[in-house]
């Protein structure tokens, strides 16, 4: 005769691998999401302001339009040993979302926002972009998997 605990354990195991239980697991939310952290250093003063102008004028609006990005934060070092560090933290629901293109919303924004060549506005655009790239070129990227159980 089988022990009641053995029967209960067998039933629990069968229920945990039943097709109904498996389909419920497949439709549940993923167990974690991803955060990318980009850091780079900019000087204080006018050049640093030019870098931040590009971030505020181009990068932030594009991130806000990108449906793959759950959250986007740009911070500038405020206290401690490295006064010129900028950190960009982006949150994504999956690895595929990190690699995904923003698509039409960003393409349309760029088409509407990027100035025509040869205009004074284009010269300013190119200047701030060059300043940004001068400091962004040495940036560092990190990608973190964040368990949802450790998130608020």
C-alpha 137/C-alpha 42 separation (Å) is 11
Confidence of residue 27 (pLDDT cuts 50, 70, 90): low
Per-residue pLDDT averaged across 27-53, rounded?
A: 88
pLDDT exceeds 90 at position 67: yes
- Per residue in 133-144, pLDDT (tens digit) is 999 999 999 999
Please name the residues in contact with 84: beta carbons below 8 A apart, sequence gap of 6 or more. Answer: 41, 42, 43, 44, 48, 77
High-pLDDT (> 90) share of the chain, %: 64
SS (H, E, C) the chain: CCCHHHHHHHHHHHHHCCHHHHHHHHHCCCCEEEEEEEEEECCCCHHHHHHHHHHHHHHHHHHHHCCCCCEEEEEECCCCCCCCEEEEEEEECCHHHHHCCCCHHHHHHHHHHCCCCCCHHHHHHHHHHHHHHHHHCCCEEEEEEEEHHHCC
Question: Residue 78: its pLDDT value, please?
Answer: 79
Task: Specify the pLDDT at position 45.
Answer: 84
pTM above 0.85, yes or no: no
The answer to which of 27-31, 78-82, 111-115, 126-130 has the lowest mean pLDDT is 27-31
The answer, yes or no, to whether residue 65 has pLDDT greater than 50, is yes
- At 44 the pLDDT is 84
User: What confidence score (pLDDT) does residue 7 get?
Assistant: 41
């Amino acid at each position: 005769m089988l022990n009641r605990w053995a029967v209960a354990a067998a039933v629990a195991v069968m229920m945990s691998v039943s097709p109904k239980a498996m389909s419920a697991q497949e439709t549940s939310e993923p167990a974690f999401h991803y955060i990318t952290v980009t850091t780079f250093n900019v000087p204080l003063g006018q050049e640093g302001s030019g870098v931040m102008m590009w971030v505020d004028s181009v990068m932030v609006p594009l991130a806000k339009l990108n449906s793959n990005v759950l959250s986007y934060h740009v911070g500038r070092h405020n206290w401690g040993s490295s006064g010129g560090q900028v950190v960009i933290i982006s949150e994504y629901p999956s690895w595929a979302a990190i690699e995904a293109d923003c698509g039409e919303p960003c393409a349309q924004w760029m088409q509407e926002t990027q100035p025509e060549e040869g205009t004074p506005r284009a010269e300013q655009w190119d200047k701030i972009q060059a300043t940004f790239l001068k400091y962004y070129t040495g940036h560092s990227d990190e990608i973190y998997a964040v368990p949802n159980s450790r998130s608020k």
